[in-house]
Chain A
Amino acid sequence: MVSQFAAVAIFLVIGVGFVLFTFLLSKLIRPSAPNPVKLSTYECGESPVGSGWIQFNVRFYIFCLIFVIFDVEVVFLFPWAMVFQSLGMFAFVEMLVFIAILMFGLFYAWRKGLLRWY
C-alpha cells in the first residue's frame, strides 16, 4: 500500500517539476523591463486608493464554517456508504438519525439567514 501512495508523491513532485521547468524556460526567453507604472497595482487604470488588503464581509467566513461542518459529516458518511450493503436496517436508521440532526442544523442556519449572500 505504501507503493500506492508513493505514486502520488512521485506524481506531485513531477507535477511541480514540470511547472518549474516551464517557468525556467520562460525566464530564459522573456524580456525584463520594469518601470514604476508597470509595477503598480492594477485598479482599472487609476492609481490605487488605499491598501489592497481590504476588510471583507464576514459572510465568507460563515460559509466556510458551514462547509467545514458538512464536510466532516460527509467524511463520516464515507465508511458507512462503503459497508452499507452488509449492514442491516439498524445501521441505516442510525445514519438517518445522524443526517436528520445535521439537516436540522442546516435548517436552523437557513432560517437564521446565515445562508443568505446579500
Chain B
Amino acid sequence: MFELDKLVQAIGRLIESAVTALGLGPTWVTIIQLAIATVVVVAFASLLVLFFVWWERKISARIQLRLGPMRVGWHGILQTIADAVKLLQKEDITPAAVDRGVYFWAPIVVFVAALAVYVTVPFGRGLIVSDLNIGVLYILAITTFTVIGLLMAGWSSNNKYSLLGGFRSAAQVVSYEVPMALAVLGVVMFAQSLSTVTIVAHQEKFYQWYVWRQPIGFLIFFVAATAECNRTPFDLPEADSEIVAGYSTEYSGMKFAMFFLAEFLSMFGASSVATILFFGGWHGPFLPSWIWFLIKTLVGVFILMWLRWTYPRLRVDQLMGFAWKFLLPLGFLNLIVTGFILLLVK
C-alpha cells in the first residue's frame, strides 16, 4: 500500500502520451521524463537538506542541554527557511584579489558533485532516476569531484587560510577515498554487481543484510564517509579556531550557502549509500519501501550528527595516519579474508 512505483510509472506514461501528442519523437520522451525525474529528486534533496539544517541545530542544542530554535514556526521548524531568505539578501562580497572565474564556479562544482550521487540511489521500489550498471563505481567517482571544487575554492580565494584549508581538505578527502572504495569492494564481492538496485535486491530479508557479512567493511565505510563529508571528528578543514573557515573564508551570501548545503547533501548521500550497501536499502515489512529507506537513512544521518557533538576533533596528522596506516591495511585485510571465505564456501 502507498507504494509510489505505480504512481511514478503512471506519470511516466502520461508524459509519454503528452510529448508524443506534441509530435516529438521517443528520444524527447526519454529526455523529458528524465528531466522531470531529476527536478523531483533535486527538489526532494533540497527540502531534505533544509530539514537537516533544522534537525542538526535541534540535536546539537539538546546534546548541549539547551533548546535550539524555538520561535520561528513549531519548535523552530521554519528557521532554516528564514535563514535561507536572509542569506539570499546578503551582500556577495567578492574580494578584489580573487581569481574570478574559478571563484564563481567552485561552490557550483562542490554542490553539483554532492548532488550527482542521487542519480543512482533507489529511494524505494522502482524509484530511481537511472539504474546505472556501474552504480557504486559512479558514486565513488563523482564524490571525488568535490576535491576539485575544494581546491578551486582554496586557490582562487587568494588567501593563505583558504589555501591551507583547501589543501588540507583535499588531502583528507583523498586519503579516505581508498578505504571507502575497499569497503565497497567487499560488498561487491558478495553481490557480484555494481548496480545499486541489484545490491539492494540481494538483501531482501533482515538476515541477508550485508552488514552482518561485512561488519568491518561497514565500519570502515562509515568512518571513511564521515571523513569524506568533513564531519567531526574529521572536520579540521572547517575548524573555526584553526584556520577561520578554511576554504570558504572569502565566500559570503549564497555561495557560502552552497558549500554549507553541499555538506548536508553529502551527509545524506553517504548515509543513503551505507543503507543501500549494508542495511537492505528499501526492504522492510508493513511500511512502504520509500518510508523504510527514509527511516534507515535518517538514522544514519542522526548518528553522523550525534558523532559531531560527542567526539573531539582529530589533529591533522592523526587524521592522515589513521587513514593510511590503519584503515587502508584493514581494508585490504577485509578484502582478502572475504575472498578467502567466499572461496571456501563455494
Binding site secondary structure of chain B: helix
**Inter-subunit contact A4/B131 (CB<8 Å):** yes
**Inter-subunit contact A82/B343 (CB<8 Å):** no
Within the complex, the shortest CB–CB distance from B81 to chain A, in Å, comes to 14
Within the complex, the shortest CB–CB distance from B22 to chain A, in Å, comes to 19
Q: Is B116 an interface residue (CB 8 A)?
A: yes
Interface centre among B112, B155, B157 (most CB of A within 10 A): B112
For window 32-89 of A, CB contacts with B under 8 Å fall at 32-34, 38-44, 48, 51-54, 56, 60, 63-64, 66-67, 70-71, 74, 77-78, 81-86, 88-89
**Inter-subunit contact B194/A30 (CB<8 Å):** no
Q: Which A residues touch B96, using CB under 8 A?
A: 39-40
Give the CA-CA distance A35 to B80 in the complex, in Å: 30
Q: Count of chain A residues with Cβ under 8 Å from any Cβ of B?
A: 69
Closest chain A residue to B315 by CB distance?
A117
Q: Which B residues touch A85, using CB under 8 A?
A: 189, 192, 342, 346
**Inter-subunit contact B38/A10 (CB<8 Å):** yes
**Inter-subunit contact A52/B160 (CB<8 Å):** yes
Closest chain A residue to B187 by CB distance?
A81
Give the CA-CA distance A20 to B174 in the complex, in Å: 28
Interface centre among B160, B185, B329 (most CB of A within 10 A): B160
Q: Is A116 an interface residue (CB 8 A)?
A: yes
> Which one, B178, B324, B332, contacts A71 given CB within 8 A?
B178
Q: Which B residues touch A4, using CB under 8 A?
A: 130-133
**Inter-subunit contact B91/A84 (CB<8 Å):** no
**Inter-subunit contact A19/B112 (CB<8 Å):** yes
Within the complex, the shortest CB–CB distance from B194 to chain A, in Å, comes to 7
Q: Which B residues touch A66, using CB under 8 A?
A: 324
Interface string of B169-187 (1 = CB under 8 A from A): 0110011011001100100
Given contacts A70-B328, A106-B329, 5 further A-B contacts (CB under 8 A): A7-B37, A11-B34, A30-B91, A64-B170, A71-B177
A-side residues, CB < 8 A to B, are 1, 3-8, 10-12, 14-16, 18-20, 22-23, 25-27, 29-34, 38-44, 48, 51-54, 56, 60, 63-64, 66-67, 70-71, 74, 77-78, 81-86, 88-89, 92, 95-96, 99, 103, 106, 110, 115-118
